[in-house]
């Protein structure tokens, strides 16, 4: 799982990830999709989202 989101200046935080459709071309779709799903969880945590159920449904 990625670490804290780096500050890009001015309070903007960034996270680069692969497009989830990359899993469609991967030999192991489940493993490949786990990366973007973990990235989304990191973003939810960083934003302090009140309701992470929609992210939990993905993974």
**pLDDT tens track for 14-24:** 888 888 888 88
Question: Residue 58 belongs to what H/E stretch?
Answer: helix 53-58
Q: Pull the structure tokens for residue 57.
A: 């449904």
Confidence of residue 1 (pLDDT cuts 50, 70, 90): very low
11-57: pLDDT as tens digits: 777 888 888 888 888 899 888 888 888 888 888 887 776 555 555 55
């Amino acid at each position: 799982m990625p670490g804290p989101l780096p500050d890009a200046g001015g309070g903007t935080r960034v996270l680069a990830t692969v497009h989830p459709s990359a899993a469609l071309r991967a030999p192991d779709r489940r493993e490949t999709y786990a990366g973007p799903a973990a990235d989304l969880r990191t973003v939810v945590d960083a934003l302090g989202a009140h309701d992470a159920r929609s992210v939990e449904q993905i993974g």
